[in-house]
Structure 1
Amino acid sequence: MKKKNPIFFMPIGIPSSGKSTIRTQILKKYPKLCVISPDEIRFQLLDYEHTKKDFDPEIEPQVWAKAKLQLNQCIENTQDIFFDATNVDKKGRTDLLHQLSPNYIKKAIYIQIEPELAILRQKKRERQVPEKIIYDKYNNLQLPTLDEFDSIDIVSQQASKQECEDLNIQFKEKLTSIFDDKKKQCKICKDI
């Protein structure tokens, strides 16, 4: 019986888009999946449990060196791999994809989500990414292409009814604060 080619899963999405949820789903189908998470490496190096510090630019070279070492070990063992990071820029993706041996099937999982929904959802988490970083990742996201990957799955994250209501409230609050002193001049604000 012919052995199947290993799969390299690369989620592509802004922080709080649902990458870890997808990882959990894939782990059910591929229980021997090799998961590489720069965030988890970073938390370990910074002793997040005790310090609650989740980022330090000075250790980033060490984080990525460790992640690439783990990647090479998984490749040597011809394991299926899930590289759990935002992976929003093509250059960073290309650097990782070039490390794979030619027998790997390269599968992108693009997670489409509006930044406002990601920001709302992350409020339920212990660790929150600053809104500016979420918007920066969203604005600089480079969509995956079939030049990079063998296949691309698109997961579109939709807001629940409650999330839509929460987003509408936040939007109205922002509009009100922006135009509060100019309500008389702004017809839209009169209806808020």
Structure 2
Amino acid sequence: MSTAPDVSLWLLIGLPGSGKSTWARHFLQTAPAIAYISTDQIRGELFGNEATQGPWPQVWGQGTYQMREAVRQSQEGELHGALYDATNVRRRDRRRVMQTAQSLGFTRLLAVWFDVPLGICLQRNQGRSRQVPPAVIATMSRQLAGAPPQPEEGFAAIYRLS
């Protein structure tokens, strides 16, 4: 009797400048059979620039499509899941991603929490070509501090990187 393959979604959580995308690039070099779903990349594809926020329903729709494809490819043995690269600082946003992921067929949800101090994120942000307004990062920091990732959210594991 064969069983359906385990389909994992790695949910990155952290402030802009916390190192999520850099970590993802290194992770994917060692685990290339994982789909990379990045809201920044989706914005770049849809609007010609990763910095252009554009209508969130369009970004979310493309992200959902990419998740669906990652599940299909994982079930066919081509992939071993997906990595979802977004800030995911608000619990309700994580819940939406997780519920959608499970409805599409992801069976294992893993959090990678980039617990990096606000000051370091602000400093890194200053050195970026595409900067996020510091007030936005500060607001996100408060949101994440008020609702850090918890096992009760449904994560099989939470990896806290600092």
Is the TM value for this pair above 0.5?
A: yes
For 1:86, the equivalent position in structure 2 comes to: 87
For 1:111, the equivalent position in structure 2 comes to: 114
Aligned residue type for 2:148 = L
Q: Distance in 1 between matches of 2:84 and 2:116?
A: 19
- Long gaps (5+) in structure 1: 157-192
- For 1:52-131, list aligned pairs within 5 A: 54-57=51-54, 59-78=55-74, 79=79, 80-101=81-102, 104-131=107-134
Q: 1:103 to 1:117 in 2, by over 3 A?
A: closer
**1:143 and 2:148 are equivalent in the alignment:** yes
For 1:154, the equivalent position in structure 2 comes to: 160
Q: Distance in 1 between matches of 2:95 and 2:109?
A: 11
TM-score (norm 2): 0.84
Superposed CA offset, 1:61-120 (max 9, x none):
111111111111111222311000001111111112123346622110111111111111
Give the deviation of 1:6 after TM superposition.
2.7
Q: Distance in 2 between matches of 1:10 and 1:2?
A: 24
Residues 35 and 82, structure 1, Cα contact 8 Å, conserved in 2: yes
Q: Distance in 2 between matches of 1:104 and 1:118?
A: 32
- Bigger RCO of structures 1 and 2 (CA < 8 A, at least 6 apart): 2
Give the deviation of 1:136 after TM superposition.
0.8
Q: 1:114 to 1:45 in 2, by over 3 A?
A: same
TM-score (norm 1): 0.71
| Percent of matched pairs sharing the same residue | 26
Superposed CA offset, 1:31-62 (max 9, x none):
021011111111222212xxxx72244x2211
Give the deviation of 1:5 after TM superposition.
2.1
Q: Distance in 1 between matches of 2:133 and 2:148?
A: 22
Give the deviation of 1:127 after TM superposition.
0.7
Of structures 1 and 2, the larger Rg is shown by: 1
Aligned residue type for 2:47 = L
Residues 9 and 106, structure 2, Cα contact 8 Å, conserved in 1: no
